[in-house]
Copies of this chain bind each other. A is one copy, B any other.
Amino acid sequence: MVLDFYFDFASGYSYFAARRIEWLAAANGATVRWHPVLLPALTEVTKVLPSPLVPSKWRYVSRDTARTAQEEAIPFNPSSAFPQMLVAPGRAMLWIRAAHGEQAAVSFARTCFQAYYADGVDIADKAVLLGIAEAQGIDGAAFLAGLEDPSIKAQFKQGNEEALAQGVFGVPFVLADGEPFWGYDRFPQLERWLAAARRAA
């Protein structure tokens, strides 16, 4: 069973999902493919405004994320730069995947999420991204050059197109061998789905 996991570093619910998905997959013998996307590119199809631009919705989302974090004991202390659009972490992840493989890319993504949402660090800052990469043993000069690599930029853009083609219109979004789950609030259902698939196998 493969879980295609679509997420945006800018999304708090994606952070919740990113914390949980590897454990959920491991417990059910599934593997995760991480797909960084840009939510504003996906919401072209629904036309929904970014939540921070809708006062009543943003008040709700802020309350809801805090409440969920508290209920589930998830560290949640976002950077003061939150919310903002984030492009560099996604590109960085793709470059690391190309240069150093999947495990290094996922480790980088998880550290980015923790830095931004738990430790209050701004991951729009390339110096922060550089620090995270170097702590993984990645060469800093190559990493910074990679962030500006036109083929990486194109690949990140293309990822959004591929997500849309798969029917992904929001984040976090999981396709479990094609079965779609939208939202961190669908994770309990996803977990039951995986357990049932494992029993059936």
Please give the number of chain A residues whose Cβ is less than 8 angstroms from any Cβ of chain B in the complex: 26
Assess whether A63 is interfacial by the CB under 8 Å rule: yes
What number of copies of this chain does the assembly contain? 2
Q: Give A46 to B54 CA distance when docked, in angstroms.
A: 6
Q: Give A63 to B182 CA distance when docked, in angstroms.
A: 11
Sample (24) of A-B pairs whose CB atoms are under 8 Å apart: A45-B54, A46-B48, A46-B54, A46-B57, A47-B47, A47-B48, A48-B49, A54-B169, A56-B167, A56-B169, A57-B169, A59-B167, A60-B167, A60-B169, A60-B180, A60-B182, A63-B180, A64-B182, A64-B186, A67-B189, A68-B189, A71-B189, A183-B185, A185-B186
Q: Give A37 to B189 CA distance when docked, in angstroms.
A: 29
Residues A47 and B45 in contact in the complex (CB < 8 Å), given A64-B182, A67-B189, A182-B60: no
Assess whether A85 is interfacial by the CB under 8 Å rule: no
Q: Which residue of B lies closest to A68 (CB)?
A: B189
